[in-house]
Chains A and B, each alone.
Chain A
Amino acid sequence: AQSVTQPDIHITVSEGASLELRCNYSYGATPYLFWYVQSPGQGLQLLLKYFSGDTLVQGIKGFEAEFKRSQSSFNLRKPSVHWSDAAEYFCAVSFNDYKLSFGAGTTVTVRA
């Protein structure tokens, strides 16, 4: 079945440490790939997206993601986490249509 999988439900990281969130997709073709962040009481904000070209994508707030076709993955990384990065993160895919299909999300907690 076609799906987007975020294997980690919850990650706790110390402030200043690095962060990596995993995302795998299961589709016949390579989709367009997105990472969104959702803070409490806020809507979804786009961090970055990949359509084609360079497989390392830079986004806002110091985030980057790497597309690996062989692993059907699009993992999100940040070298040094700030307390304000505590939020829920969603990986999403889309094809040449109208809808985003989201993973179940990963909650990130940042400890001082």
Chain B
Amino acid sequence: ETGVTQSPTHLIKTRGQQVTLRCSSQSGHNTVSWYQQALGQGPQFIFQYYREEENGRGNFPPRFSGLQFPNYSSELNVNALELDDSALYLCASRATHGTQETQYFGPGTRLLVL
């Protein structure tokens, strides 16, 4: 077990709706990253938060946003859902900001957009 949990496990939304996915990191992990994994593909980096501020973003539009809280939890928000947003969303946390620190992944939230 990685000590990283995500909720909900599954979610169904319709196009145009908004969704919030949640992640709870290990205590002391001040860096959290979010990834999108479409079916049959590897995970794609969405963004990273460090000490409650976004400090890196992949090739995702602004309708993907996030929050990180002092209690080591975080959220991924997606507005104006599109069919292509259907995917497994993974969060990963680590204790420090450095690249060499191991990232611990949660089990993911599977989002289906109809």
Residues of A within 8 A of B (CB): 4, 32, 36, 41-46, 49, 51, 90, 92, 94-105
- Chain B hits for A45, CB < 8 A: 2, 105
Asked if B56 contacts A43 (CB within 8 A), the reply is no
Asked if A98 contacts B107 (CB within 8 A), the reply is no
Query: What is the chain B residue whose CB lies nearest that of A44?
Result: B105
What total of chain B residues lie within 8 Å of the partner, measured CB to CB?
27
Q: A43-B2, A97-B56 are in contact. List 5 more A-B contacts (CB 8 A).
A: A42-B107, A44-B43, A98-B97, A100-B103, A102-B44
Cα–Cα, bound, A94→B43 (Å): 13
Cα–Cα, bound, A92→B90 (Å): 15
- Chain B hits for A41, CB < 8 A: 107
- Chain A hits for B33, CB < 8 A: 98-100
